[in-house]
Amino acid sequence: MDLFAQLLANGLGNGAHYALLGLGFGLIFTTTRIVHFAYGPVFAVSAFAVWLAVAVGGLPLAAGVVLAPLTAAAAGALVYWLAYRPFERRGMSSHSVLILSLGLSIVLESLLTLIFGPNIHTVPGFAPPIFILGPVFLTGLQIGEVIAVLGVAGALLLFLRQTRYGHAILALSDDRDMARIVGIDTDRISLIVFALGSAIAAVAAVFTLLNEGATPSMGFNPVFVAFVVAVVGGLGSIPGSILGGFLVGLVESLGLWKIPTEWQNSIAFVLLFVVLLARPQGLFAGARR
Amino acid sequence: MTALLDIAGLTAGYGKKTVVRDVALTLRTGEIVVVLGHNGAGKTTLVRAIFGLIRASSGRVSFDGRDITGRGPSANIADGLALVPQGHGIFRTLNVRRNLELGGFSVTSRDVIAERMERVFALFPVLRERQAQIGGTLSGGQQQMLAIGMALMPAPRLLILDEPSIGLAPLLVERVMESIREINENYGTTILLVEQNPRLALKIAARAVVMNRGAKIYDGAPEVLADERKLLELF
């Protein structure tokens, strides 16, 4: 039972991480219909920005952390404007954009390796506080990430429902042509969505940096997790991304109870297949924004 | 009566395919003009090029004496154009109220939005009752009323409607045509109405234009077209 409680706690911590990843990826996909594989390197770039500021620049951690969403927003917006948008303008098929996105992801990752080398870069002198609740060990990072995902999701919902730009994003994800017809500048909204989605990923990237350190390939797994979470939860649904993230986290963690560790990464994909077979629109697709 | 919309030598299409060839058209302020023609005659391409959704490859469009060729929809809306596109001109996953608000996306004042929404509700009372309903769950006729209501939110001087009667039962078509006439009479809105089915459209139009294979082949009094034989000849 003690093991179960610990696995449950780990699952919730990982779930929060996955939910953040799915939230940003899902927002970008539903609004722009672009499968943004370069989400991975953007995620890595934001972690390296924090590492540079803190480990090299000597900034306090709290100040460095603020850089993550800002860097990611800028990097995500640049990727959209310089890479995806010219393709869209020429009326390229979504398949071409998908291949472009994959290629771009590889190029950006190689670039990071050229600059930083393949080694792990950790933030010196950081150790998260540990909490012991009965039989369960929790790190401050696990608790922090659960709080972070709830805060980010709440803020995103408010933004989408209450602001002019939020309404434009909802309009664009519903029908791009109609959005143009009512006078929405779809290029500008796509740019904002790329910045916003990337900034959300950066929140997760900070936790990865503090937990494990940064490597150029650190974004590789998160893209796939983000994809699985967004699809399992139901594309376009914010509650879906949150619940999908926690579901993947919990299934993965609790699976360890009975399944050997080396299968952990496969569990998410097995879950994806099962969900796609049973409910192709995603588990919580009905729960629209 | 001055010219509100003046088009000269407009040629437009998609990619290398030219769909509309060298079309000239003038709309006077307050007029209702209907554009008739078969499927594929280039009616939709013509209005999408006027509204700025696609770029004309040559020709000139001017609105209220100003050259608006090559401008995008948001600039055109700000100047007083609005389009009800073919098919469902609504956001199907959003509710009626949000749809109307988005129709008025170019309007930044909340008071003006509220006031215009009241106008739309006065024209289509059913929309007031259905404010909270999701657009895609409305009936076909209600969706078309919502689409027209959305286009009215920026209070356009020129309202372009692309086959608003498509897929509607005859009684509803009559209702939609009636409301187009009301909009024209009450607000002095100039109307450019694209239709495939000429009968009802001809009743409300002051002038009719017929297109065939991308070119304008008739421009004149609608009464002439009401004559069955003449209509058959042109189609």
Q: Compare A246 and B223 and report the one with higher pLDDT.
A: A246
> Is A122 a member of any domain?
no
> Is A231 a member of any domain?
yes
For residue A160, the chain B residues in CB contact (below 8 A) are none
Least confident range of A7-21, A216-230, B204-218, B220-234: B220-234
Between A91, A175, A183, which is nearest B91 by CB?
A175
Domains, in order of start, for chain B? 3-80+158-234 (3.40.50.300), 91-155 (no CATH)
Flag whether pLDDT at B75 surpasses 60: yes
For residue B108, the chain A residues in CB contact (below 8 A) are 164
CA distances from A198 to A172, A255, B129 (A): 18, 30, 40
B235 falls in which pLDDT band (50, 70, 90)?
low
How would you write chain A as a 3-class SS string?
CHHHHHHHHHHHHHHHHHHHHHHHHHHHHHHHCCCCCCHHHHHHHHHHHHHHHHHHCCCCHHHHHHHHHHHHHHHHHHHHHHHHHHHHHCCCCHHHHHHHHHHHHHHHHHHHHHHHCCCCECCCCCCCCEEEECCEEEEHHHHHHHHHHHHHHHHHHHHHHHCHHHHHHHHHHHCHHHHHHCCCCHHHHHHHHHHHHHHHHHHHHHHHHHHHCECCCCCHHHHHHHHHHHHHHCCCCHHHHHHHHHHHHHHHHHHCCCCCHHHHHHHHHHHHHHHHHHCCCCCCCCCCC
Q: Which residue of A has its CA nearest to B153?
A: A182
pLDDT in tens, B31-64: 999 999 888 889 999 999 999 999 889 999 999 9
> Is A124 a member of any domain?
no
The answer to whether the beta carbons of residues A47 and A207 sit under 8 Å apart is no
The answer to whether the beta carbons of residues A34 and A28 sit under 8 Å apart is yes
Distance of CA B142 to the CA centre of its chain: 17
Extract the tokens encoding A257. 């109870």
Cross-chain Cβ contact B77/A183 below 8 Å:
yes
Determine contact: A212 vs chain B, CB below 8 A: no
Domain count, chain A: 1
Helix (H) or strand (E) holding B17: strand B17-28
Q: Give me the amino acid identity at A2.
A: D
> Is A265 a member of any domain?
yes
Distance of CA B167 to the CA centre of its chain: 16
Cross-chain Cβ contact A182/B93 below 8 Å:
no
> Is A246 a member of any domain?
yes
Cross-chain Cβ contact B85/A180 below 8 Å:
no
Q: How far apart are CA B124 and CA B146, in angstroms?
A: 8
pLDDT above 70 covers a percentage of chain B that reads: 95
- Distant-in-sequence contacts of A229-233, Cβ < 8 A, 24+ apart: A229/A18, A229/A19, A229/A21, A229/A22, A229/A25, A229/A26, A230/A22, A230/A25, A230/A26, A230/A29, A231/A272, A231/A275, A231/A276, A231/A282, A232/A271, A232/A272, A232/A275, A232/A282, A232/A283, A233/A22, A233/A26, A233/A282, A233/A283, A233/A284
Q: Which residue of A has its CA nearest to B91?
A: A174
The answer to whether the beta carbons of residues B162 and B86 sit under 8 Å apart is yes
Q: How far apart are CA B54 and CA B34, in angstroms?
A: 21
pLDDT in tens, A49-95: 999 999 999 999 988 899 999 999 999 999 999 999 998 888 778 88
Distance of CA A58 to the CA centre of its chain: 27
Q: What is the pLDDT of residue B140?
A: 92
What's the complex ipTM? 0.92
| Closest chain A C-alpha to B142 CA, distance in angstroms | 17
Q: Please state the rounded mean pLDDT for residues B202-228.
A: 81
For chain A positions 140-169, those within 8 Å of chain B (CB to CB) are 164, 167-168
Give the CATH number, domain containing residue A149: 1.10.3470
Q: What is the pLDDT of residue A13?
A: 94
Domain region containing A205: 8-117+134-278
Sequence-ordered list of residues with C-beta below 8 angstroms from that of B76, at least 6 positions apart, any chain: B51, B52, B63, B68
Cross-chain Cβ contact A182/B150 below 8 Å:
yes
Q: How far apart are CA A200 and CA A242, in angstroms?
A: 13
Residues of B engaging A, defined by a Cβ cutoff of 8 Å: 15, 51, 53, 72-74, 77-78, 83, 85, 89-94, 98, 101-103, 105-106, 108, 150, 154
For residue A172, the chain B residues in CB contact (below 8 A) are none
Cross-chain Cβ contact A181/B101 below 8 Å:
no
pTM: 0.90
Q: What is the pLDDT of residue B1?
A: 52
> Is A201 a member of any domain?
yes
The answer to whether the beta carbons of residues B99 and B91 sit under 8 Å apart is yes
Q: What is the pLDDT of residue A289?
A: 47
Q: What is the pLDDT of residue A1?
A: 74
